[in-house]
Amino acid sequence: MPAAILALDQGTTSSRAIVFDEAGRPLASAQREFRQFYPQPGWVEHDATEIWSTQSAVMAEAIALVKSMSPRVEIAAIGITNQRETTVVWDRESGVPVANAIVWQDRRTAAMCDGLAAGGHETFVRDRTGLVIDAYFSGTKLRWLLDRCDRDPERLAFGTIDSWLVWNLTRGAAHITDVTNASRTMLFDIHRAEWDDELLALLGVPRCVLPQVKSSSEIYAKTTDGIPIAGIAGDQQASLFGQRCTRAGMAKNTYGTGSFVVMNTGEHAVSSKNGLLATIAWQLGDGVVRASGAHSGGGTKGAPEARTTRCYALEGSIFITGAAVQWLRDGLGIIRTAPEVEALAASVPDSGGVVVVPAFTGLGTPHWDAYARGTISGITRGTSAAHIARATLESIALQTADVLDAMQIDSGIAIDELRVDGGASTNDLLMQMQADIAGIPVIRTRVPETTALGAAYLAGLAVGFYRDLDDLGVVRASGALSGGGAPEARTTPQLVFTPQMSASERASMRERWARGVERAKGWAI
Ligand code: ADP
């Protein structure tokens, strides 16, 4: 009987379900948006009940769709990936949330975080959790919800969105999360992979509300329909896994509105000095590790430690990348659609000395300057819209190169290729610039849904759908993708962008960019 894996991709604006075949090809998918609530400036909420109703609806739709195409197909497992940090508290008896979910973007606990930082806890929190103290993470959001709920904590359950989905998929039989989601709570010791009593005391969170922490790939429970739930990872970690960055030194960048760059650092968490976050990338369950012979080597290259059960990552955030192209379209009106930027930028051989720093909302990794604002430097009488378009694309690649540098400095591990996905990664000129500016090959995936695919891979490993990490996405009979030891990019040349730029040209471009960034910093004071 043909088997497939169902990935549930619970994002910030929509719930999606995608059914993948063995080779990682999407067979069917369904998607529903849900409401966003902005009750006060800086507050963002979701109705967790609506998250569940949209997620269960798209799950049923995707399964029905795939069954209508191939009636004999069997769903072998479910993998879950989710918007991270978003916080839900519900009543264990009724299963009803006590309030709306507080979304990752929500800033209401910023003052609480300032208090923690002023109390001198920053180093302690960073050492234990890999995070900076920030309202972004779940811990202070949970504390906020608990402070406003008068029920006995024993009756309450906390969860990130993965926990909430599993609770509902199992009708309350399982209250769990995985190590990647736990890594984003500010309550979790990423080295021991356990909830941390000192952090719980610092944030005033009672242990009884917490889910049990599991690996990212094991059979956790079955749905009420008997399908094993077998993989969980937060969205960026799932994307790293979906890109098969399974060895230390492998990195991916997702080019969307902003960009998330994530690098596998192997079995050690790296403490960053350059504004990166450390996090657990994934942990494979004991059964999966044994079955895949993970300790016996057998990889084609790279560090053997990356084959151990738990893998760490460094993560960098760039606030504005694709959004700078939107600005060219909507703010300047020099293009009508985002893809038109490619032809406009390609109409000039270089940016004519123009540097665009799209620090519209400040600068993230590695600068972390909330007061930086956008600049265009180096304008002359000869500057045209094409030069500005080209400099804007370059800024996306240059910001990414800065993050890759920070990762290599912090980890001491060289990154020898970058795997890419997201809306702006369809731009060939941008990808060539990225290869030129970072000085490493850029490999564009054929399956754009790498986040959902990562969740499907994690679940597929746990149920024996895949033998091991080298088996992910391999087509055994016939098909387009190759797998494992011979990455598909090497055999499908149109997906690889290799550096063409001379070292001196690269150095002068990066030096000019660094000067542009200095001019953008500290502007909004
Ligand atoms: P998100 O998930 O953040 O909404 P997507 O992955 O859908 O983002 O990517 C959309 C972003 O990519 C937009 O900001 C858009 O401006 C940008 N984009 C889309 N196509 C191109 C292109 N061909 N060249 C450059 N940027 C593009």
Question: How confident is the model at residue 290, as a pLDDT?
Answer: 59
Q: How far apart are CA 51 and CA 57, in angstroms?
A: 10
CATH number at residue 393: 3.30.420.40
Tell me: do 313 and 228 sit in the same domain: no
Separation of 322 CA from ligand 1 center, angstroms? 5
Q: How far is the CA of 471 from the centre of ligand 1 (A)?
A: 31
Nearest CA to ligand 1 atom 7: 423
Residue 30 lies in a domain: yes
Token readout for 90 is 């519900």
Query: What's the gap in Å between 175 CA and the centre of ligand 1?
Result: 36
Domain-ending residue, one of 201, 217, 236: 236
Candidate of 12, 257, 336 to mutate for ligand 1, largest count of ligand atoms within 8 Å of Cβ: 257
Ligand 1: residues within 6 Å at CB?
Answer: 256-257, 322-323, 325-326, 338-339, 341-342, 422-424, 426-427, 430
Distances in Å between the Cα of 206 and the Cα atoms of 146, 155, 393 are 10, 12, 48
Residue 461 lies in a domain: no
Give the C-alpha distances (Å, rounded to integers) separating 415 from 191, 262, 283, 400: 23, 11, 22, 13
The rounded distance, in Å, linking the Cα atoms of 376 and 359 is 10
Take atom 23 of ligand 1 and give the residue whose Cα is closest.
339
> Is 473 inside a domain boundary?
no
Does residue 286 belong to any structural domain of this protein? yes
Cα separation of 320 and 360, whole Å? 7
Residue 102 lies in a domain: yes
Are 325 and 356 in contact by the 8 Å Cβ rule? The answer is: no
Give the gyration radius of the chain's Cα atoms.
23
Return the pLDDT at 308.
53
Are 44 and 97 part of one and the same domain? yes
Ligand 1 centre and the CA of 59: distance in Å? 26
Same domain as 252, residue 221: no
Bridge partners of residue 18, in order along the sequence: 7, 29
pLDDT on residue 370: 79
Q: Which structure tokens are listed for 343?
A: 């032809």
Please check whether residue 398 lies inside any domain of the structure: yes
Q: Report the C-alpha gap between 308 and 193 in whole angstroms.
A: 14
Tokens 């080295």 sit on residue: 191
Name the closest-CA residue to atom 1, ligand 1.
256
Count H helices and E strands in the chain, helices first: 16, 23
* Å from CA of 255 to ligand 1 middle: 7
Nearest CA to ligand 1 atom 13: 322
Instruction: Give residue 228's domain range.
Output: 3-236
Distance 369 CA to ligand 1 centre (A): 24
In the three-class reduction of DSSP (H, G, I as helix; E, B as strand; rest coil), residue 227 is classed as: coil
**Which is nearest to 56 in space by CA: 213, 225, 210?**
225
Cα 150 versus chain centre, distance: 35
Return the ligand 1 atom nearest residue 421 CA: 6
Q: Is residue 271 part of a domain?
A: yes
Q: Whose CA is nearest to atom 25 of ligand 1?
A: 424
Ligand 1: centre distance to CA 364 (Å):
19
Rounded distance from Cα 337 to ligand 1 centre (Å): 10
Question: What secondary structure letter does DSSP report for 67?
Answer: H
Instruction: Among 104, 332, 427, 429, say which to mutate for ligand 1: greatest number of ligand atoms within 8 Å of CB.
Output: 427
Q: How far is the CA of 331 from the centre of ligand 1 (A)?
A: 16
Q: Which atom of ligand 1 is nearest to the CA of 13?
A: 4
Q: How far apart are CA 278 and CA 487, in angstroms?
A: 27
Residues 60 and 122 both lie in one domain: yes
One domain, residues 411 and 524: yes
**CB-count burial class (<10 Å; 0-12, 13-18, 19+) for 336:** exposed
CA of 215 to the centre of ligand 1 (A): 32
Same domain, 229 and 253: no
How much distance in Å is there from the Cα of 422 to the middle of ligand 1?
7
What 3-state DSSP class applies to 200?
helix
Q: Which atom of ligand 1 is nearest to the CA of 422?
A: 6
Same domain, 208 and 277: no
Q: Cα separation of 488 and 486, whole Å? A: 6
**Whether 78 and 215 share a structural domain:** yes
348 and 278 together in one domain: yes
Within 8 A by CB and 6+ apart from 17, the residues are 6, 7, 8, 9, 29, 30, 31, 55, 58, 59, 61, 62, 63
| Nearest ligand 1 atom, CA 339 | 23
The residue from 193, 211, 236 where one domain ends is 236
Q: Do 18 and 125 reside in the same domain of the chain?
A: yes
Predicted local distance difference test score (pLDDT) of residue 293: 52
Q: How far apart are CA 429 and CA 341, in angstroms?
A: 10
Residue 408: the pLDDT is 96
Same domain, 375 and 439: yes
Phi-psi category of 383—alpha, beta or left, where left has phi over 0 and alpha has psi -120 to 50?
A: beta
Residues 226 and 251 grouped into a single domain: no
pLDDT at 178: 97
Task: Tell me whether residue 331 is in a domain.
Answer: yes
Total of domains in the chain: 2
Global pTM exceeds 0.85:
yes
Nearest CA to ligand 1 atom 15: 322
Strands 188-189 and 26-33 come out as: unpaired
In this structure, which residue's CA is closest to atom 9 in ligand 1?
Answer: 423
Q: Which residue, by CA, sits nearest to atom 8 of ligand 1?
A: 256
Q: Over its length of 525 residues, how does the chain's per-residue pLDDT go in tens digits? A: 679 999 999 998 899 999 999 888 899 999 999 999 999 888 899 999 999 999 999 999 999 999 999 899 999 999 999 999 999 999 999 999 999 999 998 889 989 988 999 999 999 999 999 998 888 899 999 999 999 999 999 999 999 999 999 999 999 999 999 999 999 999 999 999 999 999 999 999 999 999 999 999 999 999 988 999 999 999 999 999 999 999 999 999 999 888 999 999 999 999 999 989 999 999 998 767 655 554 433 333 444 333 458 999 999 989 899 999 999 999 999 999 999 999 999 999 999 999 999 998 888 889 888 788 999 999 999 999 999 999 999 999 999 999 999 999 999 999 999 999 988 999 999 999 999 999 999 999 877 789 999 999 999 999 988 877 877 866 544 333 333 333 443 333 348 999 999 999 999 999 999 999 999 999 987
Distance of CA 339 from the midpoint of ligand 1 (Å):
9
CA distances from 435 to 392, 404, 439, 495, 520 (A): 16, 12, 5, 12, 25
Most informative mutation of 325, 344, 421, 433 for ligand 1 (most atoms within 8 A of CB):
325
CA 244 – CA 238 distance, rounded (Å): 10
HEC readout, 73-121: CEEEEEEEEECCCCEEEEECCCCCECCCEECCCCCCCHHHHHHHHHCCC
Q: Nearest 5 degrees, angle CA 383-CA 386-CA 390?
A: 105
